[in-house]
Amino acid sequence: MLLATPAQAADDPAPPPPVLLVGVTGVRWDDVTTLTTPALWSLSREGAIGLVAARSVASRSCPADGWLAVSTGTRAADVRADDGTCRTLRDPGESGQVPGWDDYVAAADAESYGATPGLFGDMLADAGSAVTGIGPGASIALADTDGIPVGAHQVLPTSTLGITRAVRDALDASQLVVVDAGSLRDPGYATTARPSTPQPTETAPGDVLEEPSPPEVSTPDAILEPSRALQAQAIDARIGAAIAGAQRSGATVLVVSLADSGRTALQLAAATGLAPNGEQYADSLLTSGSTRQAGVIQTVDVTPTLLDGIGLDNSAAALSGAEILPGPPTSAATARVAHLLDVQRHATMVTRVSGAYSTRLVLIQAVLFIAAAIILTRTGRSDRAPLRPALRVLKVGALALAAAPVASFLTNTVPWWRSDMPVTTFWWVLLGWIAVITVVALVGPWRRNLLGPAGLVAGVTVAVLVVDACTGSTLVIDSPMGAHRVLAARFYGMSNQAFALLTAAGLLLAVAIADPLLRRGRRALATAVVAALGLILVVVDGAPGLGSDFGGPPALILAFAMLTIVVSGRKVSWKWIGLIALVGVVVVGGFAVLDWMRPAADRTHLGRFFATVLDGGLWDVVGRKIAVNLRVLTSWRYLVTAIGGVALTWLVVVGGRPRRGELMGTGSPLAGLTRAVPLLRPAFAAIAAALTVGFLMNDSGIVVPATGIAVAVPCLVAAAAQWRLGEPDGELSPAEPAKEPARAD
């Protein structure tokens, strides 16, 4: 018999410890208290903790959706019931197949996420991994593509002692154990059994269920659902029992709430033991490469974490998430929990104000568009009443409205969500920022320039978005016009609305800088400034780790190249446009390839998209973007802004041009505006081109052009009002060349 020498034994890597996933649904950190949920409270003291963005195919996820995310490694969902209820999960019956599996497969085929129910189970089976599932949710997570759970499966014991014994025995024989510890449901959102769902034929071993009894109901006809506290107490008892069963094995333990409780909110996550990067889950906030935020992960991050935890390579699998990792060690556990509760409250509160913000912004824009069309086209001298006061009010109102989008991001500089009246506080903070930006635009030395006030607002918009992208996107995330964590669309970088604002405001800022330079004969400097500004915005918007935006750089390159050509004194031809488009494709492709070459855990949206293309999922992504664009296209909020903004821009920029046979367009009060600022028309042509490309390449539909219009058109109205105030007769004399307009106080 040959014995291994000490040197040989040292060379053999030790097998990774087993992994225990305790999955629940509907549990949040505000459900955790010292007395009622001691197991989760202890986890918050000892392990790494975080929040889970549990969004699935729909904005509100059901228990089956969360477990399907583990099974598929991407977003997947159950077939939606007509009444909107969620399915009650059941263990496999005599056939061995997961109840409802055909529905899960049909729902995945109907969506464009490329989900394959059973992918995780097939990978485990192919690798020969020893796995055990306990409870109905675990059977979904560990099922193969035929819907048969791989490895061993058993019903969740009804006692805590039985759960501890089952987990301990399973970890002795398995590399991976998955436990479904139950679902917490909000009142009115109870799950229901589907007619096609067979009842389980097995009975669970153990004693009587150790679960708190609901309070007695005094009225015989009343129906009372268990409170969140009672449900959380029962789930915590199961979690504690499962963790107790893992203590002897030294297993890595993940406790993740995989789906909503009925109302959409960020869920709970905690972990102890060895992480995929070799560090320990302890005294820190959880994070992942898919969110790049301390304390926030996604449901789709669970699958790659489990695969890595048991030593399986997942780089070739089409998984949407990334490994869940511990962040840097932080302060006391109480501070960590307080931080998560603050983030959770912020994410919830912003959903309560964003809809009202968008609606009011659109309605005020509609009023401005109508007022501008009436006031700006009114004939007569602008140095007399009633036109002059109306123009002054229009100018101030337009600047304030142009400042509203960037002010919505700046609201995150003040923690309004912590107030006792968060909604009211939000509106006061928003109005305060609008007032500050508007006053600065009106009182600075730039007010003497025709495009000065509008350029200042555009400059503030650009500066805020660029600085935010370079410092971690703290203003864009969970702002009314930014990316919301609960929607799990984007957790860092440049959102679609931020891109639209950056594009429109950036082009307006370029014109505001280049126009005075051209007046002084500094064409070369003006050309260099426009090109340099465009280059900066392209890098910030598209670079991995900054904006990480795939659809933005082509639009920015096209728009700024067009404007740069015009500023240089040349004409934009189709040949130029084709060359610019080619450059845009090369730049974006280069960003994506460079990001893809990094380790999978470090990739951003660009690298993940390129990996999806290599895996053959391009058309799924394209189909999903088209579907979203068509769905958003009919939203009245954005249609009003888009149609009204385009019509008003045409009236101001095109309608004021002199017609053939007219002497310098004397028939229109705005005839001299485009002669006073020759770059105005090419600037808005560039904005239109950029927003159109952004509309086609992003998945927010008409949101992109409508958001760009929200800053571009009010700035145009402010400039037009200022021009009319500086030109009392409404036009330039035929013999007088374009000059800087007089100051308009």
Q: What is the pLDDT of residue 12?
A: 52
Q: Own/partner pairs for 228-233, CB < 8 Å, 24+ apart?
A: 228/31, 228/184, 228/186, 228/261, 229/31, 229/36, 231/26, 231/182, 231/184, 231/185, 232/27, 232/31, 232/32, 232/36, 232/37, 232/184, 233/36, 233/37
In contact, 266 and 485? CB cutoff 8 Å: yes
If pLDDT is split at 50, 70 and 90, which confidence band does 121 have? very high
- According to the model, what pLDDT value does residue 387 have? 82
Q: How far apart are CA 731 and CA 711, in angstroms?
A: 26
For residue 6, name the pLDDT band (cuts at 50, 70, 90): very low
Whether the CB-CB separation of 639 and 702 falls below 8 Å is answered with yes
pLDDT of residue 536: 93
Report how far residue 228's alpha carbon sits from residue 30's, in angstroms, rounded to the nearest whole number. Answer: 10
Give yes or no for residue 660 having a pLDDT over 70: no
Average pLDDT score over the chain: 82
State the Cα–Cα distance between residues 21 and 254, nearest whole angstrom.
5
Q: Which helix (H) or strand (E) holds 309?
A: helix 302-309
Q: What is the DSSP letter of 27?
A: -
Please tell me which of 354-363, 640-649, 664-673 the model is most confident about, judged by mean pLDDT.
Answer: 354-363
**Arithmetic mean of pLDDT, 400-418:** 95
pLDDT score, position 571: 76
CATH topology of domain 16-210+225-330: Alkaline Phosphatase, subunit A (3.40.720)
Q: Examine the pLDDT at 589 and tell me if it is beyond 90.
A: no
Please, which pLDDT band fits residue 482 given cuts at 50, 70 and 90?
confident
Tens of pLDDT along 697-725? 766 667 888 888 889 989 988 988 888 88
Question: Is residue 62 within 8 Å of residue 77, measured between CB atoms?
Answer: yes
Q: What is the pLDDT of residue 602?
A: 56
Token pair for 575: 């040949």
| Measured distance between the N- and C-terminal CA atoms of the chain, rounded to whole angstroms | 99
| Contacts (Cβ under 8 Å, ≥6 apart) of 40 | 27, 31, 32, 236, 239, 255, 268, 270
Query: Is 183:55 a contact under the CB 8 Å cutoff?
Result: no
Top-ranked range on mean pLDDT: pick from 76-80, 210-214, 302-306, 568-572: 302-306
pLDDT at 115: 86
> Does the pLDDT of residue 240 top 70, yes or no?
yes
What is the per-residue pLDDT for 175?
A: 95
pLDDT surpassing 70 at residue 548: yes
Q: Parse the chain into domains and list their residue ranges.
A: 16-210+225-330, 352-726
**What's the pLDDT band for 735 if we cut at 50, 70, 90?**
very low
pLDDT of residue 659: 46
- CA-based nearest residue to 465, from 503, 512, 514: 503
Query: Count of alpha carbons within 13 Å of 326, Cβ hemisphere only?
Result: 26
d(CA 506, CA 715): 12
Q: Is 330 helix (H, G, I), strand (E, B) or coil?
A: coil
Residue 459: per-residue pLDDT? 95
Tell me the whole-structure pTM to 2 decimals: 0.82
For the residues 486-510, what does the mean pLDDT come to?
88
| The predicted structure's pLDDT at residue 616 | 54
* Pick from 521, 519, 528, 587: nearest CA to 563: 528
* Dihedral over alpha carbons 645, 646, 647, 650 (to 10 degrees): 120
Q: Is 54:301 a contact under the CB 8 Å cutoff?
A: no
pLDDT of residue 8: 43
Phi (first) and psi of residue 420, to 5 degrees:
-70, -25
Cα 640 to Cα 135, 353, 503, 686, distances in angstroms: 51, 20, 20, 22
Packed helices 228-246 and 160-173: angle between N→C axes, nearest 10 degrees: 40
Sorted by sequence, the CB contacts under 8 Å of residue 624 that are 6+ apart come out as: 111, 112, 113, 699
